[in-house]
Amino acid sequence: MKKVLKRIILALIVMLVLAQIPFIYRRIQTGRLAHTLSTEQKAAQPKPPRSDGFDEYKGVIHVHTSLGGHSTGGFDELTAAAAANDLDFVVMTEHVSTAYDTAALTLNGFHGKTLFVGGNEGDTADGDRMLVVPGGGDVAGLHMLPTKTAFEKTHADNRLVFVAYPESYKTWDADFDGAEVFSVATNSRNINPFVLLFDLIWSFPSYPELTTASYFKRPDANLQKFDEVAANRHISLLAGICAHSNIGYSLFSDDVGNKPIGFKIDPYEMVFRLVRLHLVAKKGEPLTRERLVDTFKKGNFYNGFDVIGDSSGFSFTVKDGDVTKTMGDEVTLSPQTKLTASAPLPARFVVFKNGEKFFEQTDSTEIFVNVSERAAYRIEAYRDALGSPFDKMPWIISNPIYVR
């Protein structure tokens, strides 16, 4: 009997060891990718100023602190992470409270070079969830209203409202300003816990960002929903992070917050490196709170998954007479209407026309596309050369140019 037990234990140990092989292989692959990206970064020339007539500002949206509950992040960690990532802006989306105004209490204004804008994440009586920018004490009350009424009130109060968690959102005919088609948090929730456990042991400690990014999946269904709405009216497309800085593990921690042994898998500094919004705004005007909110409304920006390559400098424009217009803008169709796009690294450009694949060009840094039909045109750029999953998960997702 003892012999059998020994054998069973031995077999289990062998199986456990063998089960590590794919995860060790993943660590090697992730290490190779990290090496490729760091070599590329070292070889990169200093970025030339944008030649399309716009200034660029990079930042993130959908960030929580401990103010609204279930996040453990604090202001010090947040401002340090924004500075370390050289961010121009951070849009806060604190959970609401019926007792106090979390959007006013969170970071607002400049801290270092980073402009913070206090917004909220909230929900409606229909169970739809949204981001409200800027936020306010009355956003908590929207929980009592049907979605359409809640969004009307939000607009009457001069705030923007973006659909959050589109996968469970229902009221698509409501009047909103945009949709968060990608969320780092939502994406992470779909990871197989078994895979995650062993990746946390093998790959994560050395390559936290790239291990996280290796789980990224193109949000097909959310993009399709976005395209259906954008075919009929102007909305903004955004990729958020839903940063809470609260997933981790610690031993011997005390109530004061000391954690002698432990680690966090989602510190702000790490998640701020994953995906950023790059605003393109008229040259020479400083970034202010009003301007930031206005740019979000206009959709003058693209979403760059900078974890797999700095997307700064990406450009997507069209001439409207003598005027150069960019993502989020509307342009009148003419026989000369031609879309122009360029990326700072070679990529596969895919142009979508009202959600249908319309044009594709591989291994390019620049494309020119003539258009002869009125539609919403947006671009996804892929870095196929980096291998799976980045041949299917975009590096850049632009906002549409609306040809009317």
Instruction: Tell me: does residue 63 bind Zn ion (CB under 5 A).
Output: no
Rounded Cα distance between 162 and 133, Å, is 8
Write down the least CB distance from residue 288 to Zn ion, Å: 25
* Residues numbered 115-144 forming contacts with Zn ion, rule: CB under 5 A: 121
Rounded distance between C-alpha atoms, residue 95 and residue 68, angstroms: 4
Task: By CB under 5 A, tell whether 242 contacts Zn ion.
Answer: yes
CB of 106 to Zn ion, least distance (A): 13
338-353/315-320 β-pairing: antiparallel
Name the one range near Zn ion by CB under 5 A: 25-33, 218-226, 235-243, 347-355: 235-243
Length of the chain measured in residues = 404
Closer CB to Zn ion, 121 or 227, in the complex: 121
Return d(Cα 394, Cα 186) in angstroms, integer.
17
Pick the stretch among 172-180, 207-215, 234-242, 271-279 that binds Zn ion (CB under 5 A): 234-242
Tell me whether residue 121 or residue 306 sits nearer to Zn ion (CB atom).
121
Smallest distance from Zn ion to CB 95, Å: 6
The stretch among 132-140, 198-206, 241-249, 386-394 that binds Zn ion (CB under 5 A) is: 241-249
Residue 60 beta carbon to Zn ion: minimum distance, rounded to whole angstroms: 12
According to DSSP, the β-strands at 114-123 and 323-326 are: unpaired
Long-range interactions of 284-292: CB distance < 8 A, separation 24+: 284/55, 285/55, 287/57, 287/88, 287/89, 287/115, 288/115, 289/108, 289/109, 289/115, 289/117, 289/134, 292/57, 292/89, 292/91, 292/115, 292/117
> Which range in 96-104, 172-180, 239-247, 300-308 contacts Zn ion by CB under 5 A?
239-247
Q: How far is the CB of 69 from Zn ion (least distance, A)?
A: 8
CB 60 within 8 A of CB 241: yes
Closer by beta carbon to Zn ion, 121 or else 320: 121
Q: Which residue is nearest to Zn ion (CB)?
A: 242
Task: Name the burial class of residue 139, with classes exposed (0-12), middle (13-18) and buried (19+) by CB atoms within 10 angstroms of its CB.
Answer: buried
Is 318 an interacting residue with respect to Zn ion (CB under 5 A)? Answer: no
Please say which residue, 94 or 310, places its beta carbon nearer to Zn ion.
94
CA distance 239 to 181: 6
Could you say which residues in the range 274-303 bind Zn ion, by CB under 5 A? none
Q: Which stretch binds Zn ion (CB under 5 A): 114-122, 148-156, 257-265, 294-302?
A: 114-122
Cβ nearer to Zn ion, comparing 242 with 270: 242
Task: Tell me, by CB under 5 A, how many residues bind Zn ion.
Answer: 2
How far is the CA of 174 from the CAs of 62, 154, 155, 169, 332, in angstroms?
A: 21, 12, 12, 11, 26
Residue with the two structure tokens 């990532």: 85
Per CB under 5 A, residues contacting Zn ion are: 121, 242
